[in-house]
Amino acid sequence: MASMNTIGALVLAAGKGTRMHSDSPKVLQQLLGEPMLRYVYTALDPIFGEGIWTVIGHGADQVQKAFADEERRFVLQEEQLGTGHAVQVAWADIERAGVHRVLVVNGDTPLLPQPRLMAFMKEVVDADADIGFMTLTLADPSSFGRVVRHNGDVAAIVEAKDFDENLHGQEPNEINAGIYLLKVPTIAPLLTMLRNTNRSGEYYITDLVELAVARRMRVRGVDCGQDPHLLGINTPAELVRSESLLRTNLVLEWLEQGVMIHAPETVRIGPMVALEPGAVLHGPCELYGRSEVRRGAEVHSHTWLRDTVVSAGAHIRHFSHLEDAVVGEGCVVGPYARLRPGAVMEEGARVGNFVEMKKSVLGRNSKANHFTYLGDAQVGQGVNIGAGTITCNYDGVNKHKTVIADGAFIGSNTALVAPVTVGAHSLVGAGSVITKDVPDNTLAVARGVQKNLPRKR
């Protein structure tokens, strides 16, 4: 097979996706917490590296923003005049790159199997075909472009709107999967011959096949059977079906790798999540982004994690919500806890029910077991945070830091008005409002004096 350096990839992602009935571009519709275009890149990146171009149009700014942290080659299709026009828009960039062939895929095929792509490209290259494309066989092909053959040889691809049995013969069950491999030097002249004389008034990439056949070029339709992974997504129902298939595949892969998943049919695991053998998940639960669950850690039911590390032996109890957080070894979170971005729990720390952390560090073996808010706080080792403690970090304009040193004890119903420091091994009396620093080894009490008066009846 030709070197991958001589083959590029073109992703068509400019369409509006009218049937999705969404304000977001179709390629940004999510499956398991990631846009469908992410899955296409996941399949293509290991093969093509930087040799990938993406044609964007509708919602172009949104697509670029979604992938702003990555080096992507975007080509703008200002008017969406069809798939053939999208290829024309990107063709100059492809030719300048010096690739000999280009794989064209749609951005709405998130289940694209990499091994299938590799086998397809090998078959087309080995046959030295000018155009190769994947085909599928469906019981109901009515909404897809049909592959028309004469004596077994490909003659044309006819889009669903334009198919006519009187012109094209009995309706075939073989459909176009929308994945092509084009030989750049020989296809370039055909692109200038595309016409929009069809019911949609668009320039179709599929017309390249008929043009090539008419000029006795080598055209190869590669039969991929009934593989559902190759189907594009056009409607919410198709999105849900594809997500279900993807979810099942991912769960089965993790089970085979030694992850214990209870009630697996209720567990949702994103494609970039990393799980170690010996990790335990209890459904229903959801893990997204670059979350990690390490050996011996346990995630209980009704929990939601994104971009969160759960270290070995840690427990995430029921109904907890964690985002961009780090949970150290042997820590316990929840039930009903919330860890917001920047929350870090060091080894053996505990947060219990209705505790919220944000941009805070809870030190080794420290605990906040009930009804607490820790925001912009640095908590040392062996600290006890009593129920109802609040770090008052916001003055209406700026956020300020609270520091609680090793071994401190914060009594219940305490307000720590930042910026403030509670020294090592100090004790803050329950119900205090602390506005000044507390030195080490000090008892601090700041509350009104109790008065007992006769009750008037």
Q: Examine the residue annotation and report whether 282 is marked as an active-site residue of this protein.
A: no
Distance CA 428, CA 446 (A): 8
Among all chains, which residue has been given the structure tokens 């997204």? 288
Annotated binding site: 12-15, 26, 77, 82-83, 108, 145, 159, 176, 234, 340, 358, 373, 384, 387, 393-394, 412, 430, 447
Q: Where is the binding site for acetyl-CoA, in residues?
A: 387, 393-394, 412, 430, 447
Q: Residues comprising the binding site for UDP-N-acetyl-alpha-D-glucosamine?
A: 12-15, 26, 77, 82-83, 145, 159, 176, 234, 340, 358, 373, 384
Q: Which of 100, 229, 318, 370 is catalytic?
A: 370
Report the first-to-last Cα separation within the chain, whole angstroms: 96
Catalytic residues: 370
